[in-house]
Amino acid sequence: MSKIFVDACFGKETPYTPVWMMRQAGRYLPEYMEVRAKAGNFLNLCHDPKKACEVTLQPVDIVGVDAAILFSDILVIPDEMGMELSFVKGEGPKFSDPIRNEADLERLIGGEEAASKLTYVYDTIKLIKEQLAEDKALIGFTGAPWTLATYMIEGEGTKTYNICKKMMYSNPELLHKILAKVTEVVKLYMEKQIQSGIDVVQIFDSWAAAIEPSKYDEFSWKYMVEIAEYLKEKYPHIPVIMFPKGIPAFLDKVYGNFDVFGVDWSTPMAYAKEKLGDRYVLQGNMEPCRLYSKESTTECVEALQKIMGGKRHIFNLGHGILPDVPVENAKHFINECHRVSGK
């Protein structure tokens, strides 16, 4: 059975424009909060294939999205590379022993050995595929090497990225070695996700905007492209979505063999279409805060439909859905995307 979401990723004509939402398996859903409470904490939930499968499927049933996205966290990769990941309440993720020099890098587990340790992710995927409706797609994902490296180097989330940036401008060789080691793991990790059954790959560069535009290719994009091209060569039937958040100034320079470009909300869709629309399918890009108002949601969905004309487009938010959005407003968004595109 053909999946409308996969067809849309390849730019094929579809009966309507599919839609999903970044962070759709998340805290705005009471059903998610229930499972998470049972799991004890966020990391337990990532490690528990049965529960992770359950929350992955929730938004498909509850809000009616056209694709599920694997429930996991981007930081399971550095965790399995030997960095001890913890989540401190109210402060976010922490690594107690960040990577600051060659010796730190040496002690990280790399390649196949690290990728093989992520069995709970592969098991989650297999469970999901048993239960997901055949016409819906399952999106697997990874963080981009740069985004992962920011946490590995800073040891936590950061506003200024000053430790990474000091390395970027004073010791770029070391930063490249870190990025290369992470890239190797990510390639194999995504390959194993594909072998476990995902239908689509998305690479999230959540902290793309931390790099000045003239350095973005060197420190992030080229590694994302390396991963995409490794996968496309071996698995051409699996679409790859690239989502570098917040770098409108880089759109002139985008290149590489992948299928869908995820447009964040700081980049006007008309601009993205002009720059990239003939080469890539575009995904996005409603400002997630518009979900606070049904009128604002409809206004934006109609504007996006007008710009894209239902062609080479996947509806989505331009960033993750926030926890305090009413579920009925999320449903309204999905329904409106379907309505304007003719479902």
Q: Which residues lie near a copy of itself (CB under 8 A)?
A: 160-162, 165-166, 168-170, 209, 212-214, 246-249, 265-268, 271, 287, 289-290, 292-293, 296, 318, 322, 324
Give the residue from 33, 20, 19 showing the smallest Cα distance to 323. 33
279 catalytic? Reply is no
Cβ-based nearer residue to a copy of itself, 61 or 274: 274
User: Can you spell out the DSSP letters for 280-293?
Assistant: SEEE--B-GGGGG-
Q: Which residue in the list 28, 32, 122, 151 is annotated as catalytic?
A: 151
Is 107 an annotated catalytic residue?
A: no
Nearest approach in angstroms of CB 329 to a copy of itself is 10
Q: Which of 27, 120, 161, 235 is catalytic?
A: 27
Cα R_g (the chain), whole angstroms:
19
| Active-site residue, selected from the candidate residues 28, 32, 36, 66 | 36
- Least distance CB 99 / a copy of itself (angstroms): 17
**Residue 113 CA neighbour count, 13 Å, CB half:** 7
Bond from prior residue into 316 cis (ω within 30 degrees of 0): no
Task: Compute the least distance from the CB of residue 290 to a copy of itself, in Å.
Answer: 6
Question: To the nearest whole angstrom, how small is the minimum distance from the Cβ of residue 287 to a copy of itself?
Answer: 4
| Catalytic, out of 7, 16, 23, 235 | 23
Q: How far apart are CA 115 and CA 81, in angstroms?
A: 8
Tokens standing for 271?
Answer: 């601009």
- Catalytic site includes residue 27: yes
Q: Distance between CA atoms of 268 and 249, rounded to whole angstroms?
A: 12
| Distance of alpha carbon 178 from alpha carbon 93, whole angstroms | 19
Q: Which is nearer to a copy of itself, 160 or 237 (CB)?
A: 160
Nearer to a copy of itself, 170 or 278 (CB): 170
Active site residue 278: no
The nearer residue to a copy of itself, 130 or 324, going by C-beta atoms, is: 324
**Least separation, in Å, of the C-beta of 300 and a copy of itself?**
9
Burial 260-285 (b: 16+ CB within 10 A, else e): bbbbbbebebeebbebbbeebbbbbb
Q: Of 104 and 299, which CB lies nearer to a copy of itself in the complex structure?
A: 299
Please state, in angstroms and rounded to a whole number, the distance separating the CA atoms of residues 296 and 119.
Answer: 42
Q: Catalytic: 235?
A: no
- Name the catalytic one among 7, 73, 104, 217: 73
**Half-sphere CA count of 128, side-chain side, radius 13 A:** 34
Give the residue numbers marked as catalytic. 23, 27, 36, 73, 151
